[in-house]
Structure formats: C-alpha cells, structure tokens
Amino acid sequence: MKVPGFLKVKISFAWTLVAATLSSTAGERVSIYFGSGCFWGRQKDFADVEKQVLGRSSAEVTSLVGYAGGHPEAVKRRACYYHAPHDLIYENQGHAEVTQVDLMGETVEDLERQMASFSEKFFTQFVRTARGMQRTDPQDRGPGYRTLVGIPGGMSPSASEGDMFKVFASKNVNHMDLVEGEGSEDDVVNTVFVMDSNKFPFYPAEMFHQFHDGLGHRFPEDYTQELRATQVRLGRVKPTGCPEHGVDPHKHLVVHTLEVDDL
C-alpha cells in the first residue's frame, strides 16, 4: 500500500521524537551528594563543574541542594528548613545540608571520570588548620553542617556503577579521615562521613534555597536567575511541601508560605 507523503512526514517525525527520548535516557545515571557546610556556595561550585568541566548545558545541570544523613529512625517523609514545625526541621532529624549531583554516561568509566571531577572540587572546599582540615565557612558549625558524602553502597563497590568510593578516596589530597556513616553524626573536624545513599537518601530543599546567592556576596545572574529559571521550567526545582518562607533574593519578592501537610 502506498503511504501518502504527509503521513510519511508524520511517521518520520514521531520516530525522531522516540529516538531523541531513548537517547536522552540511555546509559547510566547515578546520584551522589556532598556536604561541607552551607549548601549555597557548594551548589555553585558543583554547578560550575557541570558546566565548565563536564560541558553540560543549563538544561543538563543536575546540582540541587537538600538534606541527607539523618538516622532512619528519626527521619520523616520530608526534611525542611527552620521555618517548619519542629519535627520536620532537617537538623532535628539528624540531616546535614548537602548538594546532590548526577553522574551520567554510557560506561562505568564515564561515571568514574565525572565522580573524579566532583570529588576534586569537594576537597578544595577546606583549609588547613592546626586541628586538621576545616571547611571554608567555619562559622557554620554543628551536625547540620557536618562533612559527608553520599554514594550508592557507601564504601562498597558496585558492579554496574563502579567503585565510586575508591574514586572519591583517590582525590582525598587533604588526607582527611573517611569514616563509614551510621546516621545523625556530630560535626567532627577533619572527618568525612561516607553514607550509603541507598540507606540515607537525599531530600530536596525548598525552592528559595536553590541557586541562591553566597554568604555575604552575590553570584552572577546567569546562575541565580537564568539557571534557576531553567531548572524551574524543567520541573527540577519545585515545591517540596515545606514552608517557602522569607524574601527571595533573586526576585526581591516575599515568598508566600506554603502549608505543610500533616504527617
């Protein structure tokens, strides 16, 4: 049977869309999170790695700030900043502020190369002191700002995702103590708690925290406004069910408070 020309065009266009979808979802995708003090500046660091080192576009950036590391017995369905009810506040659940990024590639080697780039950046976020390596924002102290990394499987290698802990440890130029995390740890100088992210998952932070200015200084608008807007349009930055409270420094508008669902 002869197929009309216009139908051939439609079929061809449909297959092009299918192929594009398959291409965009092909390969491995592994989420890793890093915590080292206030997450505002850390998100900028990792977004810069994604764009400047890995060559990702604004639409391909995966860096998101959030909370992780709380002991499973203390964790609720969501983690929130300090404007939330007491039992939902991230620090009261044993979480720390973290930034999550995605490793994306066709092979384990691709994933490991990206892990190496993120790990190198992570270990630049410290300064040497008489007591050991200290975060660059020492004014933020306590369990909510402790240093940690979240890797699927923790310190154990994965046949499909590679030995991400080995890659991470190989970039430990500071010779910091790498300790297996059990959840809700204290803030210990010169120590990185290694969490199994399968047991200690990531909880995204509120919208007003995403792509925020740094402590005491502003980041470029292509980061705080344009990149943030792209991530909102893509649905990656979205309401979490936690209160969105305060002033959004990127729009200079008061952010309305959202109701928190009852647990």
Averaged pLDDT, 121-145 = 89
Length of the chain: 263
Mean pLDDT over 108-134 rounds to 94
Average of per-residue pLDDT across 116-121: 98
Extended beta strands in the chain, E state: 28-36, 64-68, 96-105, 126-129, 132-135, 147-151, 177-180, 191-196, 203-204, 246-248, 253-255
pLDDT at 248: 42
pTM for the full model? 0.83
More confidently predicted of 66 and 254: 66
Residue 23 reports pLDDT greater than 60: no
d(CA 56, CA 168): 21
Mean pLDDT of 153-165: 86
For residue 52, the 8-state DSSP code is I
Tell me the β-bridge partners of 203. 67
Q: What pLDDT is stored for residue 203 in this prediction?
A: 97
Alpha helices in 123-237 (DSSP H): 164-170, 221, 228-233
> In this predicted model, what pLDDT tens digit does every residue of 213-237 receive, in sequence order?
998 889 999 999 999 999 999 999 9
Q: Percent of the chain beyond pLDDT 90?
A: 70
- Selected residue with higher pLDDT from 145 and 254: 145
The per-residue pLDDT for 226 is 98
- Provide the token pair at 211: 């792509």
